[in-house]
């Protein structure tokens, strides 16, 4: 018996739960892609799977809809893999442990993958049904959306006939998204000069934890704390006063997630420990006050380690590391001049990792104006070069510009008002959607994006509201069954 078996809509939650038991982190989508192919083959639907594990399924119109224009339904099948530090879970092999709490579905200690598993489940439920009225459907399931939209970038759209495109990767019910930002991933690569750890060095783990984290696009305006930036502050304070060595730093896991935790291994003189512990305690007080009402559980701690440390960063490497981390931009860069409450440009230093020869700082850059992304890129490049490091740009994706006089926007707004007696919120968002890529692949396409209430995306707090899933399901069915003149 499935955890979600008694929830409505049954078909949607059935497919969502089945997919949740198949590991499908970004870059590991082969099994879930094959699952979707098998789904199509079992129902004798046209299906195409490419080398990137994208899947296209086509289904003919139901009776009475043969003359209606085809509709494209699209969602991505990969998920962000984040877990709490005390949770044992292998995203490469383990299914998710679903739980129901307070009318929401969550996963125990990990991300849920409702972003965008619920969207994919909606599409599968429609394709599976024989009692839902609709025109011809073209269903596109893409991969690696969370790591640069690589699946959408390589998807062959030459055989797509539809001109109406519904993306199901939005996370707030009652909102119709008509535009999104573009962006890229810009890494800073700092070379490491290693030296032998001093004999006086006593190893301690310096840790920042307890942050809320969140999505680096849709949550960036909330001004939540970034664990990597907080780590730079405490390291700067103690490195400036005490003779310490640093042998490792790690923080966050994904560039597109606001990091919740960061750690550094530091080597101290015995007589320094009390002074540094005091500095750490003071930082707890400072940050609790600074983020009052935003963060509830910021915690800095200094913990003795049993493990021996053989190597550490040279003094120059350590100084450059602290400088880079302190200066890298985080948060809102510019606000939109037309939509006063819309973030125009932002940057997130989402992950820091110590490797054998270099420290890698992974940044997610976003903007609805291409030239503003270039400004942030140049800023990061200057910081890197001043500290003897280099930058590497990858995973670029284009913005999705507003389409004036959009027919699908009018249809969706009309149906929403008829169902709920109020107008939906029509908006642009500060997040990347694959719509930007598909609007360039598909000429004259008319696009919209919507979805149910999902909170805490890209973090172990991710949850989807059960009642919202049902309401949006009914709304989606009304949209695809709407007959145009």
Q: Are residues 63 and 101 in the same domain?
A: yes
78 in catalytic set = yes
The answer to the question of residue 140 being in a domain is yes
- The pLDDT value recorded for residue 443 is 85
Q: Are residues 193 and 156 in the same domain?
A: no
- Decide: 350 and 219 in contact? Cβ < 8 Å: no
Could you say which of 82, 138, 144, 145 is catalytic?
Answer: 145
CATH number, domain containing residue 279: 3.30.70.360
User: How far does CA 64 lie from the centroid of its chain?
Assistant: 40
Tokens representing residue 206 in the block: 């310096």
Which residues does residue 426 pair with via DSSP β-bridges, in sequence order? 176
Q: What is the total count of domains within the chain?
A: 2
- The residue among 394, 426, 444 that closes a domain is 394
Q: Are residues 254 and 324 in the same domain?
A: yes
Report the 10 Å Cβ neighbour count for 454. 28
CATH number, domain containing residue 87: 3.40.630.10
Q: Are residues 428 and 336 in the same domain?
A: no
- The residue among 370, 394, 418 that closes a domain is 394
- The residue among 377, 394, 411 that closes a domain is 394
- The pLDDT value recorded for residue 485 is 85
Tokens representing residue 284 in the block: 């707890």
Burial of 64 (0-12, 13-18, 19+ CB in 10 A): exposed
CA nearest 280: which of 305, 300, 251, 258? 300
Which residues does residue 304 pair with via DSSP β-bridges, in sequence order? 204
Mean confidence (pLDDT) of the chain:
96
Q: Are residues 194 and 321 in the same domain?
A: yes
The answer to the question of residue 3 being in a domain is no
Q: Are residues 158 and 190 in the same domain?
A: no
Q: Are residues 164 and 285 in the same domain?
A: no
Q: Are residues 250 and 356 in the same domain?
A: yes
- Decide: 419 and 475 in contact? Cβ < 8 Å: yes
Q: Are residues 138 and 201 in the same domain?
A: no
Tell me how far apart the alpha carbons of residues 276 and 333 are, in angstroms, rounded to a whole number.
Answer: 33
Q: State which residues form the domain around 323.
A: 185-394
Could you say which of 29, 78, 219, 446 is catalytic?
Answer: 78
Q: Which residues of the chain have pLDDT under 50?
A: none
Q: Are residues 90 and 149 in the same domain?
A: yes
145 in catalytic set = yes
Q: Are residues 56 and 163 in the same domain?
A: yes
The answer to the question of residue 2 being in a domain is no
- The pLDDT value recorded for residue 66 is 97
């Amino acid at each position: 018996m499935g955890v979600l078996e008694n929830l409505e809509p049954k078909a949607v939650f059935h497919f969502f739960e089945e997919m949740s038991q198949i590991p499908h982190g970004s870059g590991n989508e082969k099994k879930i892609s094959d699952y979707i192919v098998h789904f199509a083959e079992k129902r004798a639907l046209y299906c195409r799977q490419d080398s990137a594990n994208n899947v296209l399924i086509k289904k003919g119109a139901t009776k009475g809809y043969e003359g209606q224009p085809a509709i494209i339904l699209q969602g991505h099948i990969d998920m962000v893999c984040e877990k709490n530090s005390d949770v044992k879970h292998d995203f490469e092999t383990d299914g998710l442990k679903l739980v129901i709490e307070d009318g929401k579905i969550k996963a125990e200690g990990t991300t849920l993958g409702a972003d965008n598993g619920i969207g994919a489940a909606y599409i599968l439920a429609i394709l599976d049904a024989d009692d839902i009225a609709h025109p011809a459907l073209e269903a596109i399931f893409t991969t690696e959306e969370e790591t640069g939209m690589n699946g959408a970038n390589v998807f062959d759209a030459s055989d797509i006939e539809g001109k109406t495109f519904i993306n199901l990767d939005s996370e707030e019910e009652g909102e119709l998204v008509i535009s999104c930002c573009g962006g890229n991933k810009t890494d800073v690569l700092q070379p490491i000069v290693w030296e032998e750890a001093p004999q006086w060095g006593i190893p301690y783990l310096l840790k920042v934890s307890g942050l809320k984290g969140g999505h680096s696009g849709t949550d960036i305006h909330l001004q939540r704390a970034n664990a990597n930036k907080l780590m730079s502050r405490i390291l700067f304070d103690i490195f400036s006063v005490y003779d310490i060595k640093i042998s490792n730093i790690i923080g966050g896991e994904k560039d597109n997630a606001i990091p919740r935790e960061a750690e550094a291994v530091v080597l101290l003189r015995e007589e320094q420990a009390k002074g540094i512990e005091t500095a750490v305690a003071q930082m707890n007080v400072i940050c609790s006050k600074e983020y009052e009402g935003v963060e509830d559980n910021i915690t800095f701690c200094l913990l003795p380690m049993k493990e021996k440390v053989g190597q550490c960063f040279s003094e120059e490497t350590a100084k450059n590391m602290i400088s880079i981390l302190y200066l890298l931009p985080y948060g809102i860069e510019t606000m939109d001049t037309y939509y006063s409450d819309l973030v125009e440009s932002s940057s997130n230093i989402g992950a820091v990792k110590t490797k054998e020869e270099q420290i890698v700082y992974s940044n997610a850059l976003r903007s609805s104006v291409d030239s503003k992304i270039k400004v942030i890129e140049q800023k990061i490049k200057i910081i890197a070069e001043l500290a003897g490091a280099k930058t590497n740009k990858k995973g670029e994706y284009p913005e999705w510009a507003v389409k004036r006089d959009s027919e699908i926007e009018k249809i969706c707004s009309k149906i929403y008002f008829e169902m709920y007696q109020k107008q939906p919120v029509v908006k642009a968002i500060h997040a990347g959607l694959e719509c930007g890529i598909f609007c360039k692949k598909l000429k004259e396409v008319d696009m919209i994006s919507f979805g149910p209430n999902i909170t805490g995306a890209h973090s172990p707090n991710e949850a989807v509201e059960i009642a919202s899933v049902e309401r949006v399901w009914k709304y989606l069915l009304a949209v695809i069954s709407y007959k145009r003149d």
